[in-house]
Chain A
């Protein structure tokens, strides 16, 4: 996935704004290149969990589809752990196509963004596949 430095910064700023709670949102794109970041509301509002508001989720997905873009990624922050999917992230990964982008603020001065394909119904050990994020 290609992510411009500006869009990467949008995700990081969102994560910092919501800190210590997790943030979440969507990344729209075309042909693997991110075109927009769409921040959403984490209805849980906790440092340990995110659940996107379902109505907003549907609205944003339709907005992306109507504009001819693809839903490239679903992003959320890890405020105290690495940018790697947790057991809960995998268990709740209902969407096989979009990437799951995680921004970690574990080191607050050096945010880390990584992306993964998650397959909740795959065999253990085969559920997480990292995809490179080209921030340039």
Chain B
């Protein structure tokens, strides 16, 4: 299982945990498993269609997953993911 680091502002949605374990062979599978285990996180980071919001950043071992294969980026047991929803907006 991969380790997913939860930033402070999402911890309440993850039951207060700093890190959680989630199963999957790529970023998309790990995030699906995470959102299934912690629906409150899914509510925050997924669109109404169940897709990962384009303003949510994901890092795999500190590398931007978008610069790799995005949700298809392969991950293993030793990998650490960080989910970081953007702080963004506009008038």
Chain A residues packing against B (C-beta within 8 Å): 22, 24, 26, 40, 44, 47-52, 54, 57-58, 61-62, 64-65, 71, 74, 76, 78-81, 85-86, 88-89, 92-98, 100, 121
Which of A26, A58, A93, A96 is close to B84, meaning CB atoms less than 8 Å apart? A58
Chain B positions within 8 Å of A, measured between CB atoms, are 7-10, 12-13, 43-45, 53, 55-57, 82, 84-91
B86 touches A86 (CB 8 A): no
Are A80 and B91 neighbours in the complex by a CB distance under 8 Å?
Answer: yes
The docked-state distance in angstroms from the alpha carbon of A30 to that of B23 is: 36
Report whether A94 and B44 are in contact in the complex, using a CB–CB cutoff of 8 Å: yes
Chain B residues with CB under 8 A of A76: 89
Which residue on chain A has the smallest CB distance to residue B89? A89
Query: Among B7, B55, B86, which residue has the most Cβ atoms of chain A within 10 A?
Result: B86
Classify the secondary structure of B's interface with A.
mixed
Question: Binding site of A, secondary structure by majority: helix, strand, loop or mixed?
Answer: mixed
Chain A contacts for B82, CB-based, 8 A: 58
Which of B9, B10, B86, B87 lies at the interface centre, i.e. has the most chain A CB atoms within 10 A of its CB?
B87
Check A50 against B8 for contact (C-beta < 8 Å): no
- Chain B residues near A51 (CB, 8 Å)? 55, 86-88
Report whether B90 and A22 are in contact in the complex, using a CB–CB cutoff of 8 Å: yes
Query: Are B88 and A64 in contact, with the CB atoms below 8 A?
Result: no
The answer to whether B12 and A94 have CB atoms under 8 Å apart is: no
Cβ of A65 and Cβ of B8 under 8 Å apart? yes
Given contact pairs A54-B84, A96-B44, A121-B43, A71 touches B90 in the complex (Cβ within 8 A):
no
